[in-house]
Amino acid sequence: MYDMEARHIIEALRSGIPSRAVGQYFSEARPRIMKEISGRLDMVCEQRKSNGMIICGKYGEGKTHLLNTVFNLAHSNNMVVSYLSLSKETPMDKLYLVYQKLVQNTYLPMRRQPGFMQELEQISSGSPIASEMLLYSAKHLETDKLYYLFRSYLNTEDSDEKFLLQADLEGDFIANVPLKKIYRRIFNQPVKYNVNFTKTKHCKDYFSFMSHLFTQMGYHGWVILIDETELMGRLGKKARLNAYRNMADFLLPEKCPESTFSLFALSASYAEDVIEGKHEYENLAAIYPDEPEPARTVLDLLSRAPQLLPLTREEINEVLCKIQDFHGKAYEWTPNLSIASLAESTQSGGYLLRTKIRAAIEFLDQLYQYGKAGKTTINELGEETFTEDVPSIEDFE
């Protein structure tokens, strides 16, 4: 019987679409950077020290795969994970849109589907976690809106109100006036904000609230993975600078929410094409002459972000060995050929890791289906011979 998990892995690799499952099984490459990331995750779990980092790499060299590997590593550490690819609809300069998309793509440990509201619904108004979250939202955030919202959420028995309040926590922010009406109806008390909440200015409160909530639920921290960061380069000048300011809230320990680790994946050409090409330091001096921080620090981090180097021959051979093993399990056969032969087949795939993997899978496909592939043929599975000519279509009939 076919191994469906193995087939899923092969098909994901064949398509070139990043997969959490692939990240789980192909996690040994780039041990140096993975050791650093693992150490940072341990600091979050054990010491609740928040931080973030940026990685960069060329197209097709495994940035998204590395994020998926970190995804699985975080879940094994009992950490909540949120995954987001920046886009035109979710730009980094608008933090409230980033929050909304992150919440929609938040995964509790070992859950295949996103979502955590099912656990939030189990919190009763008189529980210790409810008391802690109300105290936190009243005393430790820039505004106290979330105190009134969360207290209303815990105590309302009206399903429509519950839906509106839950939608707010998921990033579809309710206006201040209807929230005040809901609170007054439930408690017969007026709402008096210490600061009038606006989503464009105070969305960071929601990140802080959620990070504290996850730790109170018993998880070891919150990992935020953001891909396609280079799309910031398409924003306007001022929007890009605001995006850098927002990135600081995920990267700088003194500005991060508690118990969080954030990882941004960036194209290797960003420093040359955008920071240098669009004169970002000069733009910063012109637009924010009296307040260059924290954007300047983020620009420094972007400029010197560690780059994913091409895999060594040994690392590529380890990957190919696993692909051969998974291909055999996926299709119930034994591709008993040397790794050197499989590695040679990837030379036609160019220099990108992604295309090398596709070439290897195509090579194995042909061996499985026809017993021949290019200059390599297998007369019987597991018995390797070589011919001088590429077999014609007629040979396969």
Q: How far apart are CA 143 and CA 303, in angstroms?
A: 34
Establish if 21 belongs to a structural domain. Answer: no
Closest by CA position to 264, among listed 10, 26, 64, 60 = 64
Same domain for 238 and 357? no
pLDDT tens, position by position, 134-185 = 999 999 999 999 999 999 999 999 999 999 999 999 999 999 999 999 999 9
Tell which of 171, 202, 233 closes a domain.
202
pLDDT at 77: 96
Same domain for 223 and 299? yes
Which of helix, strand or coil describes residue 73?
helix
**Mean pLDDT for the chain overall:** 88
DSSP state of 390: P
Q: Which residue has the higher pLDDT, 89 or 12?
A: 89
pLDDT at 23: 66
Closest by CA position to 104, among listed 115, 113, 96 = 115
Establish if 23 belongs to a structural domain. Answer: no
pLDDT at 1: 44
Same domain for 176 and 245? no
What b/e sequence results for 137-161 when a residue is b if at least 16 CB atoms lie within 10 Å of its CB, and e otherwise? beeebebbbbbbbbbbbbbbeeeeb
Establish if 238 belongs to a structural domain. Answer: yes
Establish if 334 belongs to a structural domain. Answer: yes
Establish if 280 belongs to a structural domain. Answer: yes
Q: How far apart are CA 265 and CA 306, in angstroms?
A: 10
Q: Is residue 3 scored above 90 in pLDDT?
A: no
Same domain for 198 and 263? no
pLDDT at 270: 96
Report which secondary-structure segment, H or E, holds 302: helix 295-303
Q: How many domains does the chain have?
A: 3
pLDDT at 6: 86
Find tokens 């922010």 and name the residue.
Answer: 173
Tell which of 202, 230, 256 closes a domain.
202
Same domain for 240 and 281? yes
Same domain for 133 and 196? yes
Contact 315, 29 (CB under 8 A): yes
Tell which of 258, 275, 303 closes a domain.
303
Establish if 82 belongs to a structural domain. Answer: yes
80 has which bridge partners?
222
Same domain for 324 and 292? no
Same domain for 151 and 190? yes
Same domain for 80 and 38? yes
Establish if 15 belongs to a structural domain. Answer: no
Same domain for 122 and 105? no
Domain of residue 137 covers: 118-202
- The CATH number linked to 101 is 3.40.50
Establish if 343 belongs to a structural domain. Answer: yes
Residues near 321 by Cβ (< 8 Å), separated by ≥ 6? 339
pLDDT tens, position by position, 310-362 = 777 888 888 888 889 989 888 989 887 888 888 888 876 566 777 888 888 98
- Quick count: other Cβ atoms within 10 Å of Cβ 266? 24
Same domain for 44 and 97? yes
Same domain for 105 and 224? yes
Of the listed ranges 109-123, 165-179, 257-271, 339-353, the one predicted with least confidence: 339-353
